[in-house]
Amino acid sequence: METVALAVLGEKLLAEARSASSGRYGVTIHGGHRHSLRQTLIGVAAGHVLAEHENASEVTLHLIRGRARVVAGADTVELAPGDYVVIPLEWDSFEALEDAVVLLTAAVRGTPD
């Protein structure tokens, strides 16, 4: 078994995110194209947004560090460290209110051949 220190890796991702023009940087920690479960740890610099997105699968977010806001239609939720939220199939944005590290988990139906 392999363990991942999410807080340590998250700090490294935040350092990359702060210098990236997009304000974010992520790595897949589990899964990939041949897996039905995919988990990505993402560092998002304060003030940056992951904009409108439509999920092709079930997705959850677990905020590891910072504060963030998720908007999906008329619903808005603010997240603090340790918060977990199931994301609707269509959502508008994830905004880092502070430097944030989030674990995004997606369960993809079917796997490619």
Digit-coded pLDDT (tens) for 63-101: 999 999 999 888 999 999 999 999 887 788 899 999 999
Domain coordinates in residue numbering, the chain: 6-107
Instruction: Return d(Cα 113, Cα 111) in angstroms, integer.
Output: 7
Q: What is the pTM of this model?
A: 0.88
| Domain 6-107 CATH assignment equals 1.10.10.10 | no
Q: What angle do CA 88, 91, 94 make, to 5 degrees?
A: 115
Tens of pLDDT, residue by residue over 13-56, are 999 999 999 999 999 999 877 788 899 999 999 999 987 565 66
Tokens of 113: 């051949």
Write b or e for each residue in 61-89: b if 16 or more Cβ atoms lie within 10 A of its Cβ, otherwise e.
bbbbbbbbebebeeeeeebeeebebebee
Backbone angles phi, psi at 81, to 5 degrees: -50, 135
Q: What is the pLDDT of residue 40?
A: 93
